[in-house]
Amino acid sequence: MPELPEVEIVARSLDAQVRGRVISAIEKLDWERMVETPDLSTLYDLLPGRQIQSAGRRAKWALITLDAGWTLAIHLRMSGNLVVQAADVEPDVYTHLVLALDDGRRIFFHDQRKFGRVRLLDPAGLQALDQSLGPEPLGSAFTPEVLSLRLAGRRTKIKPLLLDQAVIAGLGNIYANEALWIAGIHPLRPAASLSNHDSERLHAAIRATLTQAIIHEGSTLRNYRNGYGQRGSHQEHFFVYDRAGRACTRCGTLIERIVTAQRSTFFCPACQPETSGEQTEPVEDEHAASSEQLQARTRGS
């Protein structure tokens, strides 16, 4: 957390506010370990004076495209957020990076747990990042056939496999739980046990849950805010995530919680049987078709 929907909303809200602006200075950088590349002296030399051409996203990375071929890639990890602030707003102790803009405003990278990471990438570095990641689940290249191929022969349980960014880019714990419930697939089923029909349902469920979360401006559980400092509301629409002991909205069975690969996993034991066979049909999503509209804003792979 944040996951694909949250980073997508952050990127959109940043783009609307800072496109065309110039980074005039690195005003604050008090957690040097957040910078993975280049070294700090090079960062201080290269970043000031760069014009922001756009803000976008790849997987869970926010990408601020700069002039001269540079890209500032920021991973929010567990507790990070990027917010544009007025000149008179002072950063608190959890704001570890402040980029001053030529109009007096500033970009704050607030990260309470200090897990966030920053990279200033040249074109080769950006390409390497892109190639390390799986397909974008809302992109046109992500089809049911592609998903089937990526799951084929994998003995890994489906839930942790969905979290592997080299398999599918951008999915995290929240939306993997939600997608599996929508598709009626138990989180502990081996990926190789999924039939083509299972993969089709899962593909549709992944796209539906991500699309819905973007429509609701992401999920705010603790720290997440968009580039204006506003909360998301998708946490009000969860089907299973963080709902252990509550009734399944589809069948009334109590939602269960287990731990898989050190992550909390939520599922309905009735709607998501552990053995393969007849599965619950996915929930119809009235907004699923709108995922096509997001493709223009989402980089395919």
Query: Catalytic residue positions?
Result: 2-3, 60, 263
Q: CA 206, 212, 216: angle at the middle one, nearest 5?
A: 145
**CB neighbour list of residue 218: distance below 8 Å, 6 or more residues apart:** 2, 5, 6, 8, 9, 224, 226, 232, 234
Cβ atoms of 72 and 21 within 8 Å: the answer is: no
C-alpha 268/C-alpha 287 separation (Å) is: 23
The one-character DSSP state at 222 is S
The closest alpha carbon to 213, from 256, 162, 169, 172, belongs to 172
C-alpha distances out from residue 164 to 86, 161, 169, 189, 195, Å:
38, 5, 8, 16, 20
Classify burial at 93, counting beta carbons within 10 Å of its beta carbon; exposed 0-12, middle 13-18, buried 19 or more. Answer: exposed
Cβ atoms of 222 and 79 within 8 Å: the answer is: yes
The closest alpha carbon to 138, from 294, 12, 9, belongs to 294
C-alpha 80/C-alpha 31 separation (Å) is: 13
**CB neighbour list of residue 49: distance below 8 Å, 6 or more residues apart:** 22, 23, 24
Phi-psi region of 46 (alpha: psi -120 to 50; beta: other; left: phi over 0): alpha
